[in-house]
Amino acid sequence: MSPTTIVKTTCPYCGVGCGISAEIEDAAGHRVRIAGDPEHPANFGRLCSKGAALADTVSLENRLLYPRIGGARADWDSALDLVAERFRAAIAEHGPDSVAFYVSGQLLTEDYYVANKLMKGFIGSANIDTNSRLCMSSAVVGYKRAFGADAVPCNYEDLELADLIVLVGSNAAWCHPVAFQRIRKAKERNPALKIVVVDPRRTASCDIADLHLPIQPGMDGLLFDGLLGHLAATGATDAAYITAYTEGFEAALAQARSAAPDIAATAANCGLAAADVGLLFDWFAATEKTVTVYSQGINQSSSGSDKCNAIINCHLATGRIGRPGMGPFSFTGQPNAMGGREVGGLANMLAAHMDLDNPAHVERVGRFWGSQRVADRQGLKALELFDAVAAGKIKAIWIVATNPVASMPDADRVRQALQACDFVVVSDCIADTDTTRLAHVLLPATGWSEKDGSVTNLERRISRQRALFAPSGEARHDWWIFSQVAQRLGFGEAFAYRSSAEIFREHAALSAFENDAGHGRRDFDLSGLAELSDPAYSDLQPLQWPVSAAGGTARLFGDGRFFTANGKAHFVPVSPRPPRHVPDANYPFTLNTGRLRDQWHTMTRTGLAAKLNTHQVEPCVEIHPDDAARLRLPAGAIAKLTSRWGGMLAKIAISAEQRPGSLFVPMHWTGVNSSHGRMGALVNPVVDPLSGQPESKQTPVAIESWPAG
C-alpha cells in the first residue's frame, strides 16, 4: 500500500479562506478525502457544507479540457496565436483601450498579477476589471477614504473577543459560514456577547441575534448617521482619540445630525421601531469591544461607499479600531477578492496598492517592470466595460473564470454585447456556461484541485493553494496562458515565468520597491517575502500582511497612525441617499438578490455535489405572506418577475422572513442550469459613482402568476 498523501490547501469558495487538509486516495481518478485543516488560523478544522463537499466537485464533468476555436478542438499554439493576433490587430488599429480583460476573484494572486501586468504594464490600457467589482469595491473606497489605504484593520479573533457584533447587510450564517460558526461559539462561551443583525430580511444569521432590525432597503447610511449623532449626544465619543488621530469629525457630525437628528427621526426614515433603534444605539455607545461586520447589503448599493464610511465614522468616533475585539470589518465574497486588490486587479488600481492617477506610482511601477507603456489613467469598471463592448468600442475582450452573461446586472444587454463583439476569448475550467457559449476562442484553465499559488482571505491572511492532482486534459494555469499571449505580443522577457513561486516573489518585491506611498511607510508591504526560496514558498504558512522581516501583522492602526499623508484617519461626511430606482405603480416591489447556503455563484462546481443540491432545487422567489395573499400567488406556483431591464420565472416561496414589499431571488441559476432565466437579467445597471459597484440589492420589479390569467 502506498503512503497516504496529505495536501494542505484552501477552500475555493468564500472569502473566509478556510484551510483544507486533502487526503489523496486516487490521484488519477480524482478521488480525495476533504477535511478542515486543524492548524489553519481561519477555521481551525471547521468547514461549512460547501467546503465539506469539495471532493464531489473535482470530477471531469463539464470540464473544458482542450482549446477550442469556433467550437472545434484546436491545439494550444493555434489558439494562443489567434488570441495574440486578434489583440495585436485591435490595438494597432484602434489603440490599447480597444481591448479588455474581465477577470475573477476566483483567480489566484499569481494569475491576477500576470494579467494585470500584461494589460496595465505592457498593452498600456487599464481596461482590466474583475467580478470582485460586484462584491467589494465599495468597501475598498470606504477604507481608502478613511485610512488612506485599502486595509482591513480586524481579524477573526476580534469576532471572538468582542462584546457586541453588529452584522449589517451580512447573512454570514450562509455567506461566510465558518466565520459565523466562530461568532456562534463565541456567544456560547460569552453569554454577555450581544449580536445585532441589520437586514431587511430575517436571515439565518438572526438565529443567534439578540436584536434584528428589519431596515427599509437602502437606509443603512442614515442609520449609522443617526448612531454617530447619538454617540456625540450621549458623550460616548472618544474626544482624545478624535483629536490625536483623526480629522474631519465636526463636518461628519454636522452632516449626520442634519440627516438623522434623533432616534425617532432615524427610526421613522429607516422603517424601524424607535425602541429597537434606541437599543442598538445604547449597546453601541456602552460597549468598548464592538465589531461591525458589513457585506454585500452595504456594498451593493448606489451609495455603498458612503455607507461603508458611515460605519467607519462610528468606529473612529469611539476610537474602536486596531485593538483586540473591535473594528469595522468588511466581509468580502470571493476567495481571492483581497489578493486581486493587492496586485491591482481593479481597473482603477495599479499593482501593490499604488494608484494609476499618481505619476510617481506609474513611473515606479514602469521602472520595476521595465516598461515605458504603463497605463496612466483609470480603465473601465465592470459595467462601463460591458457598455463599451455594447457600443463597439471594445473590439476584443478576454473573460477569465467568470460568467458575466449570468451574473452582471442587465445581463441580457451583456449577452447582446458579447454576441456583437468582434472577438471574445474565454479562459475557464468549465466547458459550458452562458458565457463560454459566446466565445470565439475557449482556453482550458486548471481548476481548483489543480492550481498552485496563493490567495488572501478577508482578514488579510495569505494562504497557499496547492494542487491535489495534475492538470486535466490540456488545461494550463491562468498565469501560463497570459504569459504565452504576452510573449506572442512581443513582451517576452517580462513574462518568462516558469513557476508561481517566481511570480509571487516578483509581486512581493514590487511591494517593497521604493514604495513608501509618500508618507514614509508602506501601506501594502510583503518585503519579508520578496526573497522567498522555492521550498519556502512551497511550505509557506498562512500569515497576514503587511509582512516585514519581522513577520505578519494581526491588526492595523492600533498605534493610531494611518496611511494618509499626515497619518490621521479621515471622517467622511455622509449624506444618505435612497436607492437610485424606487418602487412605483408598475414595479411595486424591491428585489433583493443574494446567495443560498449550499451553492456558490453559478453552480458550476457546487451543482456537481448531489447533497448540496437538496437544500434548494430550483430558482425561487421569496415573498411575504401578506403580499402573496393580496396578489393571490400560491406557494409552489411559478411567478413571472419583470423589471425595466428583463425578466425571469421563479417558483413562489412564501416566507414571513421577507419584509413586506420586498422579494428575494438567489443568484445561482443561469441560462445553462435552468430554463427559468437568469436573475442578472432583472437587476438594474446602476452603480455607486465612486466604486462602480452595482446596486444589486434594490431593483424595482413586478411579480405576477405565470402563465398569466
Q: Does 11 bind ligand SF4 (CB under 6 A)?
A: yes
Is the Cβ of residue 568 or residue 605 nearer to ligand SF4 in the bound state?
Answer: 605
Q: How far is the CB of 19 from ligand SF4 (least distance, A)?
A: 9
Nearer to ligand SF4, 123 or 154 (CB): 154
Q: What is the 3-state secondary structure (H, E, C) of 99-121?
A: EEEEECCCCCHHHHHHHHHHHHH
Residue 622 C-beta: closest distance to ligand SF4, Å: 22
Tell me which residue has cell 452562458.
434
Kindly tell me which of 176 and 568 has the beta carbon lying closer to ligand SF4: 176
Residue nearest to ligand SF4 (CB): 51
543 contact partners, CB below 8 Å, separation of at least 6: 461, 462, 551, 552
Stretch that binds ligand SF4, among 8-16, 107-115, 166-174, 540-548 (CB under 6 A): 8-16
Residue 292 half-sphere exposure, CB side, CA atoms within 13 Å?
A: 30
CB nearer to ligand SF4: pick between 11 and 620 = 11
Q: Residues 222, 270: contact at Cβ < 8 Å? A: yes
Its sign, for the CA torsion 628, 634, 637, 640, is negative
- Residue 370 CB neighbour total at 10 angstroms: 11
Binding mask 569-588 for ligand SF4 (x = CB under 6 A): --------------------
Q: Give the three-class secondary structure for 500.
A: helix
Give the Cα separation of 677 and 649 in Å (integer): 6
Nearest-angstrom CA–CA distance, 219 and 238 = 26
| 629 contacts: CB under 8 Å, gap ≥ 6 | none
Closest CB 6 distance from ligand SF4, rounded Å = 18
C-alpha cell at 332: 468580502
Nearest to 316 by CA among 124, 143, 92, 133: 143
**Min separation Cβ 333 and ligand SF4, Å:** 10
Upstream peptide bond of 707 is cis (omega within 30 degrees of 0): yes
Q: Does 178 bind ligand SF4 (CB under 6 A)?
A: yes
Stretch that binds ligand SF4, among 16-24, 211-219, 419-427, 469-477 (CB under 6 A): 16-24
Task: Decide: is 609 part of the binding site for ligand SF4 (CB under 6 A).
Answer: no
Binding characters for ligand SF4, 30-69, by CB under 6 A (x = yes): -------------x---xx-xx------------------
Smallest separation (angstroms) from ligand SF4 to the CB of 56: 14
To the nearest whole angstrom, how small is the minimum distance from the Cβ of residue 38 to ligand SF4?
A: 14
Q: Which of 9, 13, 290, 506 binds ligand SF4 (CB under 6 A)?
A: 13
Looking at 134-142, 174-182, 251-259, 575-583, which segment touches ligand SF4 (CB under 6 A)? 174-182
Taking the complex as a whole, the smallest distance from the CB of residue 52 to ligand SF4 amounts, in Å, to: 7
Residue of the chain from 8, 18, 155, 467 that contacts ligand SF4 (CB under 6 A): 18
CA 408/CA 675 separation, integer angstroms: 18
| 141-149, 170-178, 378-386, 482-490 -> range binding ligand SF4 (CB under 6 A) | 170-178
What are the two backbone dihedrals, phi and then psi, of residue 694, each rounded to the nearest 5 degrees?
Answer: -70, 155
Under the criterion CB under 6 A, does residue 607 sit at the interface with ligand SF4? no
Grid cell at residue 304:
455603498
Q: How far is the CB of 329 from ligand SF4 (least distance, A)?
A: 15
H helix runs in 532-649, sequence order: 534-538, 625-630
Asked if residue 594 binds ligand SF4 (CB under 6 A), the reply is: no
CA atoms of 302 and 684, how far apart (whole Å): 11
Q: Are strands 99-103 and 396-400 parallel, antiparallel or unpaired?
A: parallel
CB of 428 to ligand SF4, least distance (A): 20
* DSSP annotation of 177: H
Contact between 339 and ligand SF4 by CB under 6 A: the answer reads: no
Edge-to-edge, what's the strand order for the sheet holding 211-213? 211-213, 194-198, 164-168, 290-294, 327-330
If the CB atoms of residues 52 and 317 are measured against ligand SF4, the closer one turns out to be 52
Bridge partners (DSSP) of residue 593 are 665
Closest listed residue to residue 599, CA positions, set 49, 17, 20: 49
**Spatial separation of the C-alpha atoms in residues 164 and 555, rounded to whole Å:** 18
- The CA-atom distances, in angstroms, between 50 and each of 56, 373, 643 are 10, 43, 32
| Smallest separation, CB 50 to ligand SF4 (Å) | 4
- Shortest distance (Å) from residue 552 CB to ligand SF4: 19
* Cα distance between residue 511 and residue 647, in whole Å: 46
Q: How far is the CB of 411 from ligand SF4 (least distance, A)?
A: 24
What residues between 476 and 505 interact with ligand SF4 by CB under 6 A?
A: none
Nearer to ligand SF4, 115 or 139 (CB): 139
Q: Taking a C-beta distance cutoff of 8 angstroms, is the pair 441, 78 a contact?
A: no
Residues that bind ligand SF4 (rule: CB under 6 A) add up to a total of: 14
Shorter beta-carbon distance to ligand SF4: residue 207 or 531: 207
Smallest gap, in angstroms, from Cβ of residue 335 to ligand SF4?
A: 7
Contacts to ligand SF4 from residues 92-121, by CB under 6 A: none
Closest CB to ligand SF4 among 11 and 79?
11
User: Residue 603, interface with ligand SF4 (CB under 6 A)?
Assistant: no
| CA–CA dist 50, 604 (Å, integer) | 13
Q: Which is nearer to ligand SF4, 53 or 702 (CB)?
A: 53
Instruction: For the chain, report the end-to-end CA distance as a whole number of angstroms.
Output: 67
Q: Is 669 in the site for ligand SF4 (CB under 6 A)?
A: no
Contact with ligand SF4 (CB under 6 A) among 148, 177, 218, 579: 177
Residue ranges in contact with ligand SF4 by CB under 6 A: 11, 13-14, 16-18, 43, 47-48, 50-51, 176-178
